[in-house]
Amino acid sequence: MTTARRAVLTGFGVISPVGSGPAAFWAAVRAGTPGVRTITHLDPSHLPSRMAGEVRDFSAKALIDKGYRRTLNAMARTVEFGVIGCQLAMADAGLGKGAVAPERIGVEFASVMGATELDDLGPASRLSIRPGEAAPDMPAWGRDGLEQVPPLWMLKYLPNMPACHATILYDIQGPSNTQIPGDTAGPVALGEALRILRRGAADVMLVGGSEAKVHPLSLSRFNLFAQFSRRNDDPEGAIRPFDRDRDGTAPGEGVAAFTLEGLDHALARKATIYGEVLAVAGGVDRGLTGAGLARVIRNALAAAGVQPGDVDHVNAHGTGTTRGDAFEARGVAEVFGRSVPVFAPLSRFGNLGAASGLMELGCSVLALKHGELPGTLNHAAPDPACPVAVHTGPPRPAARPCAVKLSYTDLGQCSAVVIRKWEG
């Protein structure tokens, strides 16, 4: 392993469709609790796919720091998730405002542009509609519509807003950045935070990812362009990672955030440690052949100083899509064959986009910490096109010290994170 400064995870904040907070989240993941259900946030009857991983009974007002409630009117749901996730991660790490010198703490956040609430642009849009014509009346939009747009409209939806609010809430004056490459954004954020710590530019980094895909505009777009499962009569069993009968994925929402800390700093304050981040690697497999993903995995293992035999399991993205699962399986098989179990937790809570990588990673962090790996849900019929050994059924012992977390996008962006169990 590199002799550079070591980095450990000391706090975990999570709000998910299966449970919020590390203890409830782990209990649900271990028990195989399904979180993908028929959508309730809105009437989904007009959609071909009517299921999602929703966070039900979520109240930002009840969770956010009382002194920061006044800013909620400038936050879309994905931003609310992000800010509160950072707040939970800091609290879990035992770090309050001022606990770290402002210039020695930073934030790396994974997000995307939020979908506009219909009430924000609906009134203005109606003023520019021309009956019988597809194109809007742009002069009317400029003359009459703009006055109907809320002044803070853009600030509610920008991808950098979770990081922005976190820096204000905790007076963070160290490195700050937002990563936006879709499903790989979380690992990219983690990788950048790791490099910041190792070069000594900070002692603590907040690393998170949030997204809220259960939105009428998002759902309409995804149903047109993404492969969503049509098993509306069985939403809990709809996402079937690496299964022969898989027919697509489903969206989700939530946040996962970690505090990543220099080991020396964590030990000095006697912090509780979840696990160690050894390496993060990225690359592109433009043709989704699997060869590029395999190269990224090998690069991550080499940077971590880890051999395939040290790996307890591969935490796959496992979206349940026909092409995606086959591609990912080819990459895994090229490096590990069938010797390492594959665990795909996404079927529990849906595809959370920018939040997926870190929430899925959280499952492996907790699996290594607790010494047992839960089974993958909804994998019953192995597919010859997916030559990997998918772990199903009850939890099994996590006997080896390391895990590899994979993420990818439909454009071929790939990432691999190597973590190790903390044994003090």
pLDDT band at 126 (very low <50, low <70, confident <90, very high): confident
- pLDDT tens sequence across 158-178: 999 999 999 999 999 999 999
Q: Which pLDDT score, from 0 to 100, does residue 312 have?
A: 98
DSSP assigned state of 241: T
- 294's CB contacts (< 8 A; 6+ apart) are 330, 331, 332, 334, 335
- What count of Cα atoms within 13 Å lies in the side-chain half-sphere of residue 69? 8
- pLDDT tens sequence across 10-44: 999 999 999 999 999 999 999 999 999 999 999 99
- For 6, the token pair is 């070591």
Q: Which pLDDT score, from 0 to 100, does residue 125 have?
A: 84
- pLDDT tens sequence across 80-94: 999 999 999 999 999
Q: Is residue 25 domain-resident?
A: yes
- pLDDT tens sequence across 204-252: 999 999 999 998 888 998 899 999 999 999 999 999 999 999 999 999 9
Contact 82, 166 (CB under 8 A): yes
For position 349, which CATH number holds?
A: 3.40.47.10
- For 221, the token pair is 């777009």
Q: Is residue 218 domain-resident?
A: yes
Helix (H, G, I), strand (E, B) or coil at 75: coil
What is the residue range of 366's domain?
Answer: 7-114+159-421
Tally Cβ neighbours within 10 Å of residue 152.
13
Q: Which pLDDT score, from 0 to 100, does residue 123 have?
A: 84
Asked whether residue 2 carries a pLDDT value surpassing 70, the answer given is: no
Q: Is residue 131 domain-resident?
A: no
Asked whether residue 4 carries a pLDDT value surpassing 80, the answer given is: no
Q: Which pLDDT score, from 0 to 100, does residue 106 have?
A: 98
Asked whether residue 274 carries a pLDDT value surpassing 50, the answer given is: yes
- What count of Cα atoms within 13 Å lies in the side-chain half-sphere of residue 291? 3
Spell out where 274-348 has E strands: 275-284, 311-315, 342-343
What percentage of the chain has pLDDT greater than the value 70?
99
**407 or 143, greater pLDDT:** 407
Q: Is residue 149 domain-resident?
A: no
DSSP assigned state of 286: T
Phi, psi torsion values for 389, nearest 5 degrees: -95, 100
- pLDDT tens sequence across 327-372: 999 999 999 999 999 999 999 999 999 999 999 999 999 999 999 9
Q: Is residue 2 domain-resident?
A: no
Q: Which pLDDT score, from 0 to 100, does residue 128 have?
A: 84
**268 or 122, greater pLDDT:** 268
Q: Which pLDDT score, from 0 to 100, does residue 1 have?
A: 41
Count how many domains the chain has. Answer: 1
Asked whether residue 63 carries a pLDDT value surpassing 80, the answer given is: yes
Q: How high does pLDDT run on average in the chain?
A: 95
Query: What Å distances lie between residue 366 and 27, 350, 418, CA to CA?
Result: 10, 19, 14
Q: Is residue 201 domain-resident?
A: yes
- Report the predicted TM-score, pTM, of the whole model to 2 decimal places: 0.94
Picking from 390, 389, 418, 398, the residue whose alpha carbon sits closest to that of residue 406 is 418
Helix (H, G, I), strand (E, B) or coil at 277: strand
Q: Which pLDDT score, from 0 to 100, does residue 331 have?
A: 98
- For 178, the token pair is 């937002």
Place of tokens 């977390």: 405
- pLDDT tens sequence across 186-206: 999 999 999 999 999 999 999
Picking from 72, 50, 49, the residue whose alpha carbon sits closest to that of residue 59 is 72
- Of 221-225, 249-253, 257-261, 391-395, least confident by mean pLDDT is 221-225
Q: Which pLDDT score, from 0 to 100, does residue 355 have?
A: 97
| Cα(42)–Cα(422) distance, integer angstroms | 43
Q: Which pLDDT score, from 0 to 100, does residue 118 have?
A: 80
- For 314, the token pair is 């591969």
Picking from 348, 41, 300, 346, the residue whose alpha carbon sits closest to that of residue 194 is 300
| Cα(164)–Cα(416) distance, integer angstroms | 27
Bridge partners (DSSP) listed for residue 242: none
Q: Is residue 136 domain-resident?
A: no
pLDDT band at 114 (very low <50, low <70, confident <90, very high): confident
Bridge partners (DSSP) listed for residue 408: 414
- pLDDT tens sequence across 127-150: 888 788 778 888 888 888 888 888
Mean of pLDDT values over 393-397:
97
